[in-house]
Amino acid sequence: MSAPGSAAEDSAFVRTYTLTRGRTRPRHLLGLETVLDSGPGRASPGQAEECEQILALCQEHRRSVAELAGRLGRPVTAVKVLVSDLLDADALVVPVTAPYAASDTDADSRPSSQLLAALSAGLRRKWPDAIAYPQAG
């Protein structure tokens, strides 16, 4: 005999399965903290209603994957699959900011070479067995 409420749980699982068309992994690497913004593209007509909700939320202002999942009341994995579809359609973008971009007014806000050297030395002390990568640039 099945427990009360299990039919509702089963229907929620089936709904999530159909929502993602059976996919369980997104094509893009997305963290819970990945921030998304609306892009120039549009969602495909056959995409889920939740895709339109995601786009509407991201048009208001930038949202994280975790926030989208919470607002939609859907599992994070399902939201990541939908977000991945929207990224493919250019309907969403991951904004890239340059926090230390040089400008005339705040050129001193960039980290100093001494600070970066101290940070590097501290990290090497903390993790001496870490893999060293050649310097970029």
In a domain, 76, yes or no: yes
Number of other residues whose CB lies within 10 A of the CB of residue 57: 17
Strand blocks (E) in 39-120: 63-64, 92-93
Per the model's pLDDT, the better-predicted residue between 63 and 130 turns out to be 63
Give how far Cα 99 sits from Cα of 5, 49, 54, 134, Å.
Answer: 49, 35, 26, 23
* pLDDT, tens digit, 9 for 90 and up, residues 43-95: 878 777 888 999 999 999 999 999 999 999 998 999 999 999 999 999 999 98
In a domain, 129, yes or no: no
In a domain, 125, yes or no: no
Q: Which range marks the domain in which residue 31 is found?
A: 10-93
Per the model's pLDDT, the better-predicted residue between 15 and 73 turns out to be 73
DSSP letter assigned to residue 41: S
How many domains would you assign to the chain?
A: 1
In a domain, 33, yes or no: yes
In a domain, 3, yes or no: no
In a domain, 71, yes or no: yes
Q: Say if strands 63-64 and 35-38 run parallel, antiparallel, or are unpaired.
A: antiparallel
Whole-prediction pTM: 0.61
pLDDT for 108 equals 60
Phi, psi angle pair for 72, to nearest 5°: -85, -20
pLDDT at 136 over 50: no
